[in-house]
Amino acid sequence: MKPAFIYSDNFLKYDYGHSHPFKMIRLKLTRELINASRLLGSDSLELTPQAATAEDVLRCHSQDYLDVLKSIDEAAPPDNLLKYGLGLGDNPAFKGVYEGSMLASGGSLMAARLVMSGEYSSVFNIAGGLHHAMHSRAAGFCYLNDPAIAIADAVYSGKRVAYIDIDAHHGDGVQAAFYHTDKVLTISFHESGRFLFPGTGYVEETGSGDGKGFSINMSFLPGTTDDIYEEAFDEIVPVAIDKFKPDLIVAQLGADSLKGDPLSHLELSIKSFGELVQKIRNFGVPLVALGGGGYDVTNVYRAWTLAYSVLCGKNIAMELPPDFRAFASDNGYPADVLYEPEKTTSDNDDLRKFVKAEIEYLKKETLLK
């Protein structure tokens, strides 16, 4: 079975504004580097998304919230936008927000349906991964929660879904959508909410009712490096996947966990990021890969290109192709190599002690026990 990559230049119309940190150019740069790296072809297709339908979206969002988003595109918004988390600095109310959100969500739905059909082993929608949106409210640059929409569609089809989120920010919107069910396992690896938006994702958040034990939150202190992060991943995720036995994995691959991101404080290397994607792929479960955060644009396009090369099972050159280097430089985000060979390490015992305590708790209070 083949991987596939979902992209449309129409994603670029979903523009938060020049001063906003969520830059759509990162999608174009990722696509161009993937293409320049010869990862697209007969054995790895590029697919064009279709917008989600209202029926698809209403499994996770309210009708009145959807109507408000649509009214913004129609230049007739109501006066109570703040009620829906809209019109703030994080979530501006701009023309195209409804159309762009529906297209990104449609891409994630398309990815899930294609891998569930058995036609593809994995599908990557880089415009997806908008994991903070809530049932009736925008949050954290996210208007519609495309991971939750795709997961809900799979659950409706009778599938068990594991959600793995390696964004620096807690996947709170996805957790909230499935906090009370045992049909979805949510695993979020993120910087502690004591230091970073959205201020949630504590180890004690393990689910409720039928979902008790099916929410796993592994948080890290600022400064956490590859060695500490990977040890936690290896101790938690394989056991959880083995116990849960999902039919589908949805992985949110936010690149703001990488060292140098201006909005977060973890210190993962791009090399480690690629290895994490390889670990997820090695589970051998049909895989939907989604984008997410990432505010150092050069980190984003390099990390997501490396991720897609992993899904393709191909090695690509460390030196970026000359034509792409020129394109990236012209757009203000130059880089010469895919990633640096060194991984990050730390001798800070406090970082390790914190992680050890989190893991011990999870092994007692979640399905890991």
pTM comes to 0.98
Each of the 369 residues of the chain gets a pLDDT tens digit; together they read: 799 999 999 999 999 999 999 999 999 999 999 999 999 998 899 999 999 999 999 999 999 999 999 999 999 999 999 999 999 899 999 999 999 999 999 999 999 999 999 999 999 999 999 999 999 999 999 999 999 999 999 999 999 999 999 999 999 999 999 999 999 999 999 999 999 999 999 999 999 999 999 999 999 999 999 999 999 999 999 999 999 999 999 999 999 999 999 999 999 999 999 999 999 999 999 999 999 999 999 999 999 999 999 999 999 999 999 999 999 999 999 999 999 999 999 999 999 999 999 999 999 999 999
Residue reference for tokens 């908008």: 130
The two structure tokens encoding residue 100: 């762009």
Please give the C-alpha separations between residue 190 and each of 287, 308, 327, 369, in angstroms, as whole numbers.
21, 22, 32, 21
Count structural domains, the chain: 1
Q: What is the CATH number of the domain that holds 336?
A: 3.40.800.20
Give the three-state DSSP class for 220. strand
User: Cα 313–259–100 angle (5° rounding)?
Assistant: 70
The answer to whether 59 and 144 are in contact (CB under 8 A) is no
Supply the pLDDT for residue 42.
83
Residue reference for tokens 């398309």: 110
Strands (E), 150-244: 161-165, 184-191, 215-220
Domain around 324: 2-365
The answer to whether 1 and 121 are in contact (CB under 8 A) is yes
The answer to whether 283 and 241 are in contact (CB under 8 A) is yes
Which one, of 150, 114, 112, 160, lies nearest residue 130 by Cα?
150
User: What is the set of active-site residues?
Assistant: 132
